[in-house]
Structure 1
Amino acid sequence: MNVLVWNENRHEQTNTVVAENYPNGIHGAIAEFLKEDQINVKTATLDEPEHGLTDDVLNETDVLVWWGHKAHNEVKDEIVEKVHKRVLEGMGLVVLHSGHFSKVFKKLMGTGCDLKWREAGEKERIWVVDPTHPIAEGLGQYIELEQEEMYGEHFDIPTPDELVFISWFEGGEVFRSGCTFKRGQGKIFYFRPGHETYKTYHNTEIQRVIKNGVNWAKPSKTATPVYGNSKPLETISEKAIVK
C-alpha cells in the first residue's frame, strides 16, 4: 500500500510551539508512525510544485492523508479537481482536524463543512460509538486528551455513512469526530483531533486510529464498474412493436 501524507506545512515555519511539537512537520510525524506498520509512505507539502500532488504521484497513491488549516484557499483548484477525480476512482482519503474546511473535503461533501470552535486547551473525551468498526480496532471505550481545540456541533456535513467516534469537551460541547463516507469508488474517513499547538499526533491511541483509518480506506480489490451503453449478455428475442 502506498500512502501519501499531505500537509500545508505553514504553522511549522512561523510558530515556535508547533515547530517544537513537530520538528519534522506534522506530515513527518504522521509518516513516521505509519511506517511502523510496514506501509510505504511519502510526504508532500503546499509549497512544492503542484503542491507535491502531480499526476504521477496521485496515480501511485492508494490512500491520501490530508492536514491543512491556514492556507486552504492557496490550494489550486486544478489540483483539487485531480484529487477529487482520484477519490472517485478509488483512492482512499483520510482528512484530519481542520482539513474539514479544505477545498477537497468540501467538494466531496457538497456542504459548507462549518462548525463551532474554541481554542482553550480543554479536555476532550473521544467515545467509541461503533466498537465493531475496523477503525476502532485495538481501542478501549474512549480516548482521553488532556488538551485539544474544541469543535462543536452543528457540523455541516452530510449524514455520515458510519459514525465511529463522538467527542465530548470540557466546556460541554459534543462533536461527530470520526465519520466515514463513500464517494464513487473511494472511501473517506474524517478524524477530528490534531490541533497544531498540541502534541496530539504523539498519542499512541490517536496514531492507532489513523493507522486503522488508512487501512480501512485503501482501495477495494474489486472490478472497476463499467458505465455507458452496454451490449446484452443474453440474446434478446424479437418482439412485435405494439402500435
Structure 2
Amino acid sequence: LVWWGHKDHGAVADDVVERVARRVFEGMGLIVLHSGHFSKIFKRLMGTPCTLKWREAGERERLWVTSPSHPIAEGIGEYFELENEEMYGEQFAVPEPLETIFISWFQGGEVFRSGLTYRRGAGNVFYFRPGHETYPTYHDATVHKVLRNAVKWAHNPQGRNSAILKAPNVPVEKALEPIVERGGKLHAPGEAGFR
C-alpha cells in the first residue's frame, strides 16, 4: 500500500487505521510518502508524534544515497537532485530505523533522513520524504525508480500467512521442559492470551 496525505489526516477513520495496521502486522508492505509522516497510520505504526521542521520555499534538494547496496537504492547512483521541494528538517520524531537509505540536504542548509525502513510485525515499511503537492516530484524519473524499488522491497507474500498475530496459551503439559504449575491464573486453558 502506498500512502500519501496532506491536510486531512484526521478525516481517516480510526477503524480504517486499525485495519491497515493489522494488515501491515500480517505482512502487507507500506510505503509512506512525504507529508504522510503525519498520517494516523504512520504515527500508529511508529508510536511517536512524527513531528519535524519544515519550510515551503521551493528549494533545491539533494538526496544522498547512504546505503547503496540496499534494494531500494538500486540503480540510483551516489545522489540525485530535485530542483524544487518543500524542506523537511531534523529533528524528525520517529524511532531509530532499521536502515537509512537517503539523507537530504536542502538549499537553506538543513538536512533530513529522507528514506527510512522499518519492520512492523511481518510488514516492511518505507518512509520516503519527497513529494510536496505543488512541485512535479512524482514526474521525476529517479523518484519513479525509487518507488518501483520500494514496492518490490516492501512486497512480502510469505508474511501474509505469518503466525505473528497468533499468541496461543501454551498449557503446562506442553511446556518444552517439565514444570509444576503454581500461582494464580487469568485465562482458561486453551484461551487466546491477546485480544
1:162 aligns with 2:105: no
Distance of 2:35 and 2:179 partners within structure 1? 60
Deviations 1:9-36 (A, max 9, x none): xxxxxxxxxxxxxxxxxxxxxxxxxxxx
Percent of aligned positions with the same letter in both sequences? Answer: 60
Higher relative CO (CA 8 A, sep ≥ 6), structure 1 or 2? 2
Match of 1:198 among 132, 135, 151: 135
Runs of 4+ in 1 over 4 A off after TM superposition: 234-241
Tell me the residue number matched to 1:43: none
Match of 1:178 among 79, 93, 115: 115
Tell me the residue number matched to 2:17: 80
Cα 1:231–1:162, aligned 2, differ >3 Å: closer, same or farther?
same
Tell me the residue number matched to 1:69: 6
Residue 227 of structure 1: CA displacement?
3.1
Cα 1:129–1:231, aligned 2, differ >3 Å: closer, same or farther?
same
Give 2:169's aligned amino acid.
Answer: N
TM-score, normalised by the number of residues in structure 1: 0.68
Looking at secondary structure, tell me which structure has more helix per residue: 1
Match of 1:97 among 34, 45, 53: 34
Deviations 1:172-198 (A, max 9, x none): 000000000001111100000000100
Distance of 2:179 and 2:44 partners within structure 1? 46
Tell me the residue number matched to 1:16: none
Gaps of 5+ in 1: 1-63
SS of 1:87's equivalent in the other structure is helix
Tell me the residue number matched to 2:184: none
Alignment of 1:112-131 (within 5 A): 112-131=49-68
Distance of 2:176 and 2:57 partners within structure 1? 68
Gaps of 5+ in 2: 182-195
Cα 1:140–1:230, aligned 2, differ >3 Å: closer, same or farther?
same
Distance of 2:48 and 2:56 partners within structure 1? 24
Residue 78 of structure 1: CA displacement?
1.0
Cα 1:94–1:237, aligned 2, differ >3 Å: closer, same or farther?
closer
Cα 1:231–1:167, aligned 2, differ >3 Å: closer, same or farther?
same
Tell me the residue number matched to 1:28: none
Tell me the residue number matched to 1:228: 168
Distance of 2:153 and 2:11 partners within structure 1? 29
Match of 1:217 among 150, 154, 172: 154
Distance of 1:235 and 1:80 partners within structure 2? 36
Deviations 1:137-168 (A, max 9, x none): 01110010111000000000000011100000
Give 1:191's aligned amino acid.
Answer: F
SS of 1:221's equivalent in the other structure is helix
Residue 237 of structure 1: CA displacement?
8.5
TM-score, normalised by the number of residues in structure 2: 0.85
